[in-house]
Amino acid sequence: MSIVKHTGLNAEQSSNTFSDKDLESMAHGNNPQSNAYRELLARRCQQTDYQPAIDILRERAARELDGGFRAHHNALIYAANELENAQAFGRESSHES
């Protein structure tokens, strides 16, 4: 069985996951297990890698803090944290201000 490394998982979590090919072979039929495998496959296809955006936000936040703009820094860090949460939990989170 080949293991596919997925974004947002640590080494231990990734080593305990099935590859997409393995999941496809287990997703046949109409039962709770097959339905769960199909749902997992669909979620993997929808995952977005937010890491480049997170890195840009953190770099910009550091520059803003160096320039004395703490409020800008805090807003950028908040946005980076939101993207990290979205990546880790597989969904976008939204908060109203």
Q: Is the pTM of this model over 0.75?
A: no
In 16-50, alpha helices (H):
20-26, 32-46
- The answer to whether 27 and 38 have CB atoms below 8 angstroms apart is yes
Q: Average pLDDT, stretch 24-44?
A: 77
Question: What pLDDT, on a 0 to 100 scale, did the predictor assign at position 2?
Answer: 40
Instruction: Give the whole-angstrom CA distance, residue 6 versus residue 27.
Output: 19
For the chain, count helices (H), then strands (E).
Answer: 5, 0
Q: Average pLDDT, stretch 53-71?
A: 93
DSSP class of 72: H
